[in-house]
């Protein structure tokens, strides 16, 4: 049975404690109130997950849905170089969703909230006819002038990415298709990369310390994210196929698929960006000290906004066709 009473449900999901001292009013009034820190700018973002589009009962447990919905928003704050702090949740619940599963969604969110020290300060609860829809709005902060923008790439920059690419899409493929008999550990690794992304807040904070970097998080795949950087910075970007970081587990799957997932699969929630050669060396050292993998995958050139994938001596245009809610298609074009 779905929830019996809207207000009882809201009481049940109220956090037992808050992390941030700046919070004046959390859940319980018409709106939340917090005091911003001096010398910081506020960052705010929102992302929605829809049953049937972002998850199915088959691909995600309720706990994972809650965890991921908060994690993908934390990833957007990480992509600005910021610190995530407060979040609000709007949930539209169809009657076929049971209270126990809804509680699990909030447990998953609370787990991510605990890991990244963010406070649930409000939201909205409504009914809906068909599919569950959950929207998180997250507020963060960054030192004044330190937000890293998509428009900051410059010719001569190094293109970098954190972690490995394509694991989430590979995990989703394994969940939806009964093929490729992988060893259990590799299967579980790829599936967990899909269900429990790890937003790169620490890496974002390290990147926010360099003089200038362009930055984006990977929700739709690097083809899409790099085109956003190229467009907003008015530069040309070249990435090298053989430099793309791939996990050991994904490398057990067919080669063509590996690159398709790495380039257009999306939902990696790693960071991709550009910075000067000097800053990249500094960045790389600091990331290594923190145990964060960061890899150079290409270079930035002058030219009309475009992205190319280079393999040996052949350059192919990479079009902005990663995950697009309203278009599906091939990401490769010709020059
Ligand atoms: N419906 C909307 N109304 C107003 N602004 C929007 C709307 N949808 C997106 N935006 C804004 O457009 C910009 C790009 O949003 P987009 O959702 O593509 O980025 P993202 O959240 O990083 O990616 P993704 O949603 O794939 O994770 C952001 O500034 C976002 O706030
Ligand atoms: C069942 C199922 N089918 C397909 C996908 C893949 N998918 C959905 S949305 C998205 C981009 C990121 O979302 P957004 O752009 O809204 O942030 C991707 C790669 C999935 N997760 N589950
Ligand atoms: Mg978005
Ligand atoms: Mg983003
Ligand atoms: Mg998207």
Q: Does ligand 1 have an atom closer than 6 angstroms to the CB of 47?
A: yes
Structure confidence at residue 87 (pLDDT): 98
| Same domain (yes/no): 156, 132 | no
| Residue 182 included in any domain | yes
Binding residues for ATP: 106, 123-124, 150, 219
| Same domain (yes/no): 226, 276 | yes
Q: Judge whether residue 126 has pLDDT over 80.
A: yes
| Same domain (yes/no): 181, 301 | yes
| Same domain (yes/no): 162, 39 | no
| Ligand 2 mutation target, pool 267, 324, 328, most atoms within 8 A of CB | 267
Q: Judge whether residue 140 has pLDDT over 60.
A: yes
> pLDDT (tens digit, 9 = 90+) per residue, 48-60?
999 999 999 999 9
Above pLDDT 90, what percent of the chain? Answer: 91
Q: Over the Cα atoms of the chain, what is R_g?
A: 20
| Same domain (yes/no): 262, 235 | yes
| Residue 60 included in any domain | yes
Residue 7 banded pLDDT, cuts 50, 70, 90 = confident
Q: Judge whether residue 332 has pLDDT over 80.
A: no
Q: What is the mean pLDDT of residues 127-146?
A: 97
| Residue 310 included in any domain | yes
| Residue 331 included in any domain | no
| Same domain (yes/no): 113, 236 | no
Structure confidence at residue 236 (pLDDT): 98
| Same domain (yes/no): 136, 183 | no
Residue whose Cα lies nearest atom 17 of ligand 1: it is 47
Residue 183 alpha carbon to ligand 3 centre in Å:
34
> pLDDT (tens digit, 9 = 90+) per residue, 199-256?
999 999 999 999 999 999 999 999 999 999 999 999 999 999 999 999 999 999 999 9
Residue 219 alpha carbon to ligand 2 centre in Å:
8
- Final residue in a domain of this structure, among 143, 169, 201: 143
Structure confidence at residue 215 (pLDDT): 98
Q: What is the mean pLDDT of residues 155-168?
A: 98
Q: Across all residues in the chain, what is the average pLDDT? A: 95
Structure confidence at residue 1 (pLDDT): 64
Q: What is the mean pLDDT of residues 173-187?
A: 95
| Same domain (yes/no): 211, 250 | yes
> pLDDT (tens digit, 9 = 90+) per residue, 20-76?
999 999 999 999 999 999 999 999 999 999 999 999 999 999 999 999 999 999 999
Structure confidence at residue 5 (pLDDT): 83
Residue 99 banded pLDDT, cuts 50, 70, 90 = very high
Least reliable range by pLDDT among 9-18, 54-63, 158-167, 265-274: 9-18
| Same domain (yes/no): 120, 157 | no
Q: Judge whether residue 329 has pLDDT over 90.
A: no
* CB contact set of 5 (below 8 Å; sequence gap of 6+): none
Q: Does ligand 1 have an atom closer than 6 angstroms to the CB of 64?
A: no
The pTM score is 0.96
Structure ipTM over 0.85, yes or no: yes
| Residue 84 included in any domain | yes
| The total number of structural domains that make up the chain | 2
CATH assignment at residue 313: 3.90.650.10
Report which DSSP code applies to 318: B
Structure confidence at residue 333 (pLDDT): 44
Q: What is the mean pLDDT of residues 107-136?
A: 97
Rounded to whole angstroms, how far apart are CA atoms 134 and 73? 12
CATH assignment at residue 47: 3.30.1330.10
Structure confidence at residue 328 (pLDDT): 60
173 token code pair: 């493929």
Q: Does ligand 1 have an atom closer than 6 angstroms to the CB of 268?
A: no
Give the domain range for residue 105. Answer: 6-143
Structure confidence at residue 331 (pLDDT): 47
Cβ contacts of 183-191, under 8 Å, gap ≥ 24: 183/252, 185/249, 186/248, 186/249, 186/252, 189/247, 189/249, 190/247, 190/249, 190/250
| Residue 332 included in any domain | no
- Final residue in a domain of this structure, among 92, 119, 143: 143
| Same domain (yes/no): 190, 263 | yes
Structure confidence at residue 334 (pLDDT): 36
- Final residue in a domain of this structure, among 108, 143, 178: 143
| Residue 327 included in any domain | no
Q: Judge whether residue 321 has pLDDT over 90.
A: no
Specify whether the CB–CB gap between 128 and 92 falls below 8 A.
yes
How many CA atoms, within 13 angstroms, populate the side-chain half-sphere of residue 65?
27
| Residue 96 included in any domain | yes
| Same domain (yes/no): 176, 205 | yes
Structure confidence at residue 3 (pLDDT): 79
Q: What is the mean pLDDT of residues 101-130?
A: 97
Burial 164-173 (b: 16+ CB within 10 A, else e): bbbbbbbbbb
| Same domain (yes/no): 95, 204 | no
């Amino acid at each position: 049975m779905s929830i019996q009473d809207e207000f009882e449900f809201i009481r049940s999901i109220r956090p037992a404690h808050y992390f941030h001292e700046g919070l004046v009013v959390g859940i319980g009034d018409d709106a939340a109130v917090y005091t911003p820190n001096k010398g910081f700018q506020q960052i705010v973002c929102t992302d929605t997950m829809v049953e049937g589009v972002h998850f199915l009962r088959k691909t995600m447990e309720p706990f994972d849905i809650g965890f991921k919905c908060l994690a993908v928003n934390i990833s957007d704050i990480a992509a600005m170089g910021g610190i995530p702090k407060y979040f609000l949740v709007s949930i539209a619940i169809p009657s076929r969703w049971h209270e126990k599963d809804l509680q699990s969604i909030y447990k998953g969110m609370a787990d991510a909230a605990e890991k990244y020290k963010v406070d649930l300060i409000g939201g909205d609860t409504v009914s809906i006819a068909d599919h569950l829809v959950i929207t998180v709005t997250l507020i963060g902060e960054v030192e004044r002038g330190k937000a890293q923008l998509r428009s900051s790439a410059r010719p001569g920059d190094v293109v970098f990415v954190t972690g490995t690419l394509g694991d989430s899409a590979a995990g989703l493929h394994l969940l939806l298709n009964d093929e490729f008999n992988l060893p259990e550990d590799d299967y579980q690794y790829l599936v967990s990369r899909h269900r429990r992304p790890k937003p790169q807040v620490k890496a974002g904070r390290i990147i926010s310390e360099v003089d200038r970097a362009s930055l984006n998080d990977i929700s739709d795949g690097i083809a899409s994210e790099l085109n956003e950087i190229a467009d907003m910075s008015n530069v040309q970007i070249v990435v090298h196929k053989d430099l793309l970081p791939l996990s050991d587990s994904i490398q057990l799957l067919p080669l063509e698929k590996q690159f398709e997932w790495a380039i257009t699969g999306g939902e990696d929630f790693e960071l991709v960006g550009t910075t000067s050669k000097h800053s990249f060396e500094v960045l790389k050292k600091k990331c290594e000290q923190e145990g964060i993998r960061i890899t150079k995958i290409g270079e930035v050139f002058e030219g009309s906004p475009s992205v190319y994938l280079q393999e040996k001596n052949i350059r192919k245009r990479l079009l902005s066709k990663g995950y697009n809610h309203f278009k599906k298609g091939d990401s490769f074009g010709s020059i």
